[in-house]
Amino acid sequence: EVQLVESGGGLVQPGGSLTLSCAASGFTFTNHWMAWVRQGPGKGLEWVANINQYGGEKYYVDSVKGRFTISRDNAKNSVFLQMSGLRAEDTAVYYCVRASGSCYPSWGQGTLVTVSS
């Protein structure tokens, strides 16, 4: 069974930093692109970033470029999202997702990031 377990969310002040982690299991981690998707309170889904199987290719939505960094540790079957310069508009539930082809068939339960003073 595929499992994605996020951790690292919490309350952070504007301008602060936070690193989210996602522990993956139940599939061959190195076969899949991974991504982060977020959902602000009462809002729709917003794709944040993705990373290819060995970390050599990464893409980001414009609103987080230069502030967020996605990475992975294939030895630990984990993917990370380092977030800095956090803003109120970054407040959201962040989901770790596994890609298969063009879609995201596997989602974690999400971790809440709240940016507030």
Residue 84 vs 100, nearer CB to other proteins: 100
Could you tell me the smallest distance in angstroms from the CB atom of residue 106 to other proteins? 8
User: Alpha-carbon distance 64 to 6, whole Å?
Assistant: 19
Residue 44 vs 56, nearer CB to other proteins: 44
Residue 65 vs 76, nearer CB to other proteins: 65
Question: Could you give the strand order of the β-sheet that contains 18-25, starting from the edge strand earlier in sequence?
Answer: 3-7, 18-25, 78-83, 68-73
User: Alpha-carbon distance 45 to 111, whole Å?
Assistant: 14
Residue 16 vs 53, nearer CB to other proteins: 53
Backbone dihedral region for residue 85 (phi beyond 0: left; psi -120 to 50: alpha; all else: beta) = left
Could you tell me the smallest distance in angstroms from the CB atom of residue 10 to other proteins? 19
Could you tell me the smallest distance in angstroms from the CB atom of residue 5 to other proteins? 12
Task: Give contact residues for other proteins (rule: CB under 8 A).
Answer: 35, 37, 44-47, 50, 59-62, 95, 100-105, 107-110
